[in-house]
Structure 1
Amino acid sequence: MVIQTRVELDAGSKNFASGLLSDLIAALRRCSKGDLLAVTSSDPALGPELEAWCRFTRNSLVDVAEEEGRTRWVLRHGEAPANVGDDRPVGSRLWLYANFDCNLNCDYCCVRSSPKAPRRALGLERVRRIASEAAELGVREIFVTGGEPFMLPDIGEIIAACAAAAPVTVLTNGMLFAGRHLETLRGLPRERVTFQISLDSPTPERHDEHRGSGSWDRAWKGIQLARAEGFRVRLAATVSSDEEAAEFSRFLDARSVKEEDRVVRRIALRGTATEGVALARVDLVPEVTITAEGVFWHPVGAEDNDLLVSPDIFPLAESFAAVRRAFDREHEHQHRLAQIFNCA
């Protein structure tokens, strides 16, 4: 995957001695703090100059990729934040993409889930082995997501297997809690399972614009039903601005939703999103993420090659070690701009 940026700058034959600096300054003026800017050139010697310029100007070099004889450097307008998530050790959280098919077609889905997406199920037997090995590795939390996990007929067994290893949070749109799915819900252990249900706005208009007509009402009913069944429910909003975030926070305040039961996050420029926060791997504190295709760096890009760590899931200890090694290496070379991007 090519990392999406706010501005693309083709350096042509220019370097810092022949006019590139003025082009870079003009490009940065089109960016806001935190935006990504790409510089492409056929001259690999430009790399050390860009790296030195970033250090001098307190900007950040976050990615380098080569293709067909040309190099593309991705820069962040601004430097790394001080808080890089040291209170969340790598490996303490484990994400499982149970599937990728979904009953909704959200226009900013970071993994391109939809009713037409292939299921690509992780499968119960693999989940059981993952959960067993995770318990030995000190995993504190397991997150089960998709797609929509309740599209799977064996989702109850999948959640139960995870709950035997660690407390589980299930990310869902809350729209399928009826019939056999309601019976599945009722069979889960309340003390080990939390539901995180997506609700993007205080009223249906904006939520439904992104997720489909009638989805807000059905999500709200799902929230009420899960609560009535005795489950802890977290509400998660995906928003496009600070104003939307503040509006949703006021909505949650009015309903006395605790801070620990709310997740308000910005749209990530991944998957089907056409706007949002552009994220490179070095922007993200890793959270080990497993799909049917392998082990990924973070759930926000769990089908993107730039976040793939290994196609091999097992042994799980080696997958965790591979992520830690990569993270330590980037920290050592100070080429990361790591921050917590909360998916839950």
Structure 2
Amino acid sequence: MKADIDLDIGRKTFASGLLPELIAVLRRSRPGDLIAVIGDEEHIGPELETWCRFTGNPLLGTAAEGGRIRFVFRCGAVAVPKDNRPVGSRLWLYTNFDCNLHCDYCCVRSSPTVPRRELGFARVQQIAREAPELGVEEIFVTGGEPFLLEDIGDILACCAAVAPTTVLTNGMLFAGRRAESLAALPRDRIVLQISLDSSTPELHDLHRGRGAWARAREGIVRARAQGFRVRLAATVSTDTEAEQFRQFLDEEKVDAEDRVIRRVALRGSATEGVALSRADLVPEVTITSEGVYWHPVGGQDADFLVTRDIFPLAESFAAVRRAFDSEGEHANKLARIFNCA
């Protein structure tokens, strides 16, 4: 993870001069700066994590480099919208990780060349059987690109029978057998959230590949023509990009509830963006083929993994809630909503 400031502490620990160094580096930092602490003493990790939690400067990553240890923390909390959404009311399913695009900011590093790591219809069926008793009010199906899957129609129908379901897609594959899968789905239970990063092709195609914008627009038209509610989702890097997209949505007369504008998160393939830790985020139970994660924005990152055991679903939900409680009173005050949908 790229840092704004590097602090080489050598063999210092909290017992031998590290604390004044940390205070000094914070004084010359700006909110949001990433600070890398590079040292020779691996055992300072737990104490540094405690200090980060206590001071509200979240620890984001730890790595061994050339025989030394590098810790990265962020100066200050992230300002993201508050919400009172109950933990467990939103359930996210990563059906797969392969994708027909290779977006340069993908939070889970999806691309045409990565392994599929499919969740599978059988597991989706079991999730659907167990979810109704756990307070699930919405299901979100994402990837990768879910419409690469042969059985995506069955998966979505299974989810929609349990709760209103949104599928996140780049909108480029609504033809042939996939169009047939769409046609069979209940319009009143399925929402298509289609990625469109800008009002013109330049910015969208810069991140997603030449021609992606035009094909996404075509997918939006096709989905609407079939009677689906379509939500448009933009991933932006700046406030200016966000405002430009809002103006475009106003011109298109897109309802407020059918808009998602989110900042690039410094996860996965992204080399810059908003650095987010677990302490910043109210958990949204996220299930992949590898286990249960804190939030979809970290759906393949070890620091967001809660448990490898998906079933019984009640126990995995309880594990997420226990993890949230264990963040402590201070962390809970910091936790906010980072909307992916």
TM-score for both structures, normalised by structure 1: 0.89
Paired residues in the alignment total: 338
1:331 maps onto 2:294 in alignment:
no
Where do 1:75-114 residues align within 5 Å? 75-79=73-77, 84-85=82-83, 87-114=84-111
Equivalent position SS for 1:285: coil
Partners of 2:154 and 2:329 lie apart in 1 by 41
Aligned partner of 1:133 among 130, 134, 140? 130
1:172 maps onto 2:172 in alignment:
no
Equivalent position SS for 2:327: helix
Deviation at residue 254 of structure 1 after TM alignment: 0.9
Partners of 1:64 and 1:217 lie apart in 2 by 38
Partners of 2:173 and 2:42 lie apart in 1 by 54
Where do 1:1-344 residues align within 5 Å? 5-14=3-12, 18=17, 21=20, 25-26=24-25, 29=28, 31-41=29-39, 42=41, 44=43, 59-62=56-59, 74-79=72-77, 84-85=82-83, 87-332=84-329, 334=331, 337-344=334-341
| Stretch deviating more after TM superposition (7-16 or 148-157) | 7-16
Aligned residue type for 1:7: I
Aligned residue type for 1:337: L
Deviation at residue 74 of structure 1 after TM alignment: 4.5
Deviation at residue 275 of structure 1 after TM alignment: 1.1
Equivalent position SS for 2:168: strand
Aligned residue type for 2:313: L
CA contact (8 A) 2:80 2:338 kept: no
Q: CA RMSD, aligned part only?
A: 2.8
CA contact (8 A) 1:100 1:117 kept: yes
Deviation at residue 277 of structure 1 after TM alignment: 1.0
Query: Aligned pair in 2 of structure 1 residues 289, 49: CA closer, same or farther (>3 Å)?
Result: closer
CA contact (8 A) 1:4 1:278 kept: no
Equivalent position SS for 1:60: coil
Partners of 1:249 and 1:150 lie apart in 2 by 27
Deviation at residue 279 of structure 1 after TM alignment: 1.4
TM-score for both structures, normalised by structure 2: 0.90
| Stretch deviating more after TM superposition (68-77 or 264-273) | 68-77
Aligned residue type for 2:176: G
Partners of 2:52 and 2:180 lie apart in 1 by 60
CA contact (8 A) 2:53 2:330 kept: no
Partners of 2:51 and 2:267 lie apart in 1 by 29
Query: Aligned pair in 2 of structure 1 residues 72, 330: CA closer, same or farther (>3 Å)?
Result: farther
CA contact (8 A) 2:98 2:143 kept: yes
CA contact (8 A) 2:57 2:75 kept: yes
| Stretch deviating more after TM superposition (19-28 or 149-158) | 19-28
Query: Aligned pair in 2 of structure 1 residues 263, 53: CA closer, same or farther (>3 Å)?
Result: closer
Partners of 1:270 and 1:123 lie apart in 2 by 25
CA contact (8 A) 2:58 2:279 kept: no
Query: Aligned pair in 2 of structure 1 residues 221, 121: CA closer, same or farther (>3 Å)?
Result: same
Partners of 1:231 and 1:90 lie apart in 2 by 28
CA contact (8 A) 1:81 1:337 kept: no
Aligned residue type for 1:310: T
Deviation at residue 6 of structure 1 after TM alignment: 3.8
Aligned residue type for 1:129: Q
Query: Aligned pair in 2 of structure 1 residues 66, 226: CA closer, same or farther (>3 Å)?
Result: closer
Q: Could you list the per-position Cα deviations for residues 41-98 of structure 1 after superposition, in whole angstroms to 9, with x for gaps in the alignment?
A: 417569768866985xx6424468586997765433224759653x111100000011
CA contact (8 A) 1:203 1:216 kept: yes
Query: Aligned pair in 2 of structure 1 residues 245, 317: CA closer, same or farther (>3 Å)?
Result: same
Deviation at residue 285 of structure 1 after TM alignment: 1.1
Aligned residue type for 1:297: W
Equivalent position SS for 1:103: coil
| Stretch deviating more after TM superposition (69-78 or 324-333) | 69-78
Partners of 1:65 and 1:301 lie apart in 2 by 15
Sequence identity percentage: 61
Deviation at residue 131 of structure 1 after TM alignment: 1.1
Query: Aligned pair in 2 of structure 1 residues 317, 254: CA closer, same or farther (>3 Å)?
Result: same
CA contact (8 A) 2:42 2:69 kept: yes
